[in-house]
Structure 1
Amino acid sequence: MMQRKAFTLIELLVVIAIIAILAAILFPVFAQAREKARQTACISNLKQIGLSVRMYAQDYDEIYPMGTYNGQRNWEVNPDVNPYPPNNQCLDALGAAGQRGFNPGDGGLNYTGCAYGGEFYRHLMTVQLFPYTKNKQIWYCPSDKNLRFSDANARIGKQSYQYFPNWVFNIGDWCASASPFPCVRYPDGQRRDLNSQPVSELSEWYSERTLFSERGMFGWDAPDGYPSKNNNFNHSTGFNICYFDGHVKHNVWGSKWRTTPASGWDASRAPR
């Protein structure tokens, strides 16, 4: 009768060690692959949003949607500002006075009349762009650590992306003034005054100008944040931007002074 030979303890330990080494090598690769897939899904979301904006513009004389503002909004809108309870952060109340009390029929509270922040995005998601997208889930980046799609979040305009057509370093009137924010000089040696540009398909730098970005865009955020990095970003390698012409690109960390508008920080580090 044959005697079955068992594994020795040392042999078992060797096998376990080999498995542990392979896991240590492969798990980061799998994590990177998952993040790359989420980054690609985020790009797809922004492409759909950008397409919906351009479809809207075709119906409204080439003008892009203005959210809850009474006129064109040629400035960024922070998505983390919440005008509803419990935060009650009311900014730009005069900018949306005509919207106060309106209800878009999404099951949420009536509008507060505070144009900046969540109400701006709620109006885009539910009223102005929904006829073209038919989907609110595209407003949520799969890599967003702070938010996931839910009806409750959508009803207060909490979502992943940030409207960003202009900021402090692209104001032409400030170039020759004593403003604390200088006009950024781009690699081609030129400055770009966005304050005089319409938020529409008639804008100059049409294919380079940011329409929507995401967490990490502000110069004080993310791994390249100044004066110190933080975790307010979605992707490990950079941030996605949807441009005025609707195309979307992944921008790596360290490129914030080259975006249009520039979003680096602080003013003392701005290229002049």
Structure 2
Amino acid sequence: MWTQKKKRTPTPKSGFTLIELLVVIAIIALLAALIFPVFARAREAARSIVCLSNLKQLGTAISLYLEDYDETYPMNRQADALHDLGGCTSPSPSSPPNDPLEGSSVNWKREILPYVKSFDVFRCPSNGDAWSTNGYASVPGDETNLLYPKSQWIAISYAYNGSFFHEGVPPCWYGEARTRPRYETEIGDASGLVLLLESRWSFPDLGSWFIPLRGPDSGAQGPFQSHNGACNWLFADLHAKHLKPDAICQMHGWSENYPDPTNGCALLAQEAPEYR
């Protein structure tokens, strides 16, 4: 006997509606917006640790140099075949120090190379200007690179504290006759005086007069390389700290109790937004 088959009721297809998809996408976007900055900060913190390690290695090299040269620091810039020691050439007593050693082929970085294991220690992994020409140099990196083969080029990342260790400070700010190195015995509190700092410029030193200035790439960028808004600083006793530039001013870390006619710390209100 023939019987009529019952028609199956269509099963509703499972899936997301357009509204549900949009909600899911919005939630994912929100989570990404919350998580990605956390990852970025964690990555930058890791790079900061590498940078601190570099600073300490450079500080150790300077310490070995001090032992070999009777507690005399390597000069910021040294005399060479074309540059002799001389007096101050700054236009006024309140100007940054300047002298005949500008453009020398030897600076403190070149002086400590025998104590450094690798050229890599001169480069901070966060520094996007490590191999920059800074808009004026003919070759990238350190200002001396023009006079050396590429295999001996030094990256931009670290600088002397120019407010104390610039070779022109004694004649320009202290009234002495000639440029000279600084001596360990001149430092009263080694734990409070900055020895090395992070830099985006090819000069071997940066002084407090750079505080209101900008980096080579934008108006939001400062002259000192930063990590999550603060910078790494190595002090003369070889301990390192992660601080904002204003903290260095508060501890008189630029020149200790010595004169600094440029008084860059008075211009902290003009510092780059990245440090605020």
Tell whether the structures are fold-level matches, with TM greater than 0.5: yes
1:70 deviates by: 4.6
Q: What is the aligned partner in structure 2 of residue 143 from structure 1?
A: 126
Q: What is the aligned partner in structure 2 of residue 261 from structure 1?
A: 254
Q: What is the aligned partner in structure 2 of residue 163 from structure 1?
A: 160
Aligned pairs (5 A) from 1:7-46: 7-46=16-55
Distance in 2 separating the partners of 1:245 and 1:166: 17
Aligned pairs (5 A) from 1:39-54: 39-54=48-63
Distance in 1 separating the partners of 2:20 and 2:265: 62
Aligned pairs (5 A) from 1:1-272: 4-66=13-75, 68-70=77-79, 93-95=83-85, 115-116=101-102, 119-121=105-107, 124-125=109-110, 128-148=111-131, 153=141, 155-156=145-146, 157-164=154-161, 166-167=163-164, 198-200=182-184, 203-215=187-199, 218-221=210-213, 230-235=221-226, 236-258=228-250, 259-262=252-255, 266=263, 269=266
Distance in 2 separating the partners of 1:132 and 1:23: 45
Q: Report the TM-score, using the length of structure 2 for normalisation.
A: 0.59
1:64 deviates by: 2.1
Q: Secondary structure at the match of 2:234?
A: strand
Cα-Cα RMSD = 4.2
Q: Secondary structure at the match of 2:196?
A: strand
Q: Deviations over 1:105-135 (max 9, x none)?
A: xxxxxxxxx73367344x624xx32222211
Quick check: 2:193–2:253 contact (8 Å CA) kept in 1? Answer: yes
- Change in Cα spacing, 1:246 to 1:237, as seen in structure 2 (3 Å) is same
Unaligned runs of 5+ in 1: 72-91, 97-113, 178-194
1:254 deviates by: 2.1
Q: Secondary structure at the match of 1:166?
A: helix
- Change in Cα spacing, 1:207 to 1:268, as seen in structure 2 (3 Å) is closer
- Change in Cα spacing, 1:49 to 1:65, as seen in structure 2 (3 Å) is same
- Change in Cα spacing, 1:118 to 1:255, as seen in structure 2 (3 Å) is farther
Distance in 2 separating the partners of 1:130 and 1:174: 29
Unaligned runs of 5+ in 2: 1-7, 87-99, 133-138, 147-153, 201-205, 268-276
Q: Deviations over 1:125-153 (max 9, x none)?
A: 4xx3222221111111222121249x964
Distance in 1 separating the partners of 2:43 and 2:184: 36
1:267 deviates by: 6.3
Length, aligned pairs only: 207
Q: Report the TM-score, using the length of structure 1 for normalisation.
A: 0.60
1:54 deviates by: 0.6
Bigger helix share: 2
Distance in 1 separating the partners of 2:117 and 2:185: 23
Q: What is the aligned partner in structure 1 of residue 273 from structure 2?
A: none
What amino acid sits opposite 1:133 in the alignment? Answer: V
Distance in 2 separating the partners of 1:209 and 1:51: 16
What amino acid sits opposite 2:51 in the alignment? Answer: C
Distance in 2 separating the partners of 1:7 and 1:51: 62
Q: Deviations over 1:2-26 (max 9, x none)?
A: 6641221111111111000001111
- Change in Cα spacing, 1:17 to 1:4, as seen in structure 2 (3 Å) is same
1:45 deviates by: 0.7
Q: Secondary structure at the match of 2:42?
A: helix
- Change in Cα spacing, 1:4 to 1:201, as seen in structure 2 (3 Å) is farther
- Change in Cα spacing, 1:30 to 1:201, as seen in structure 2 (3 Å) is farther
Identity of aligned residues (%): 31
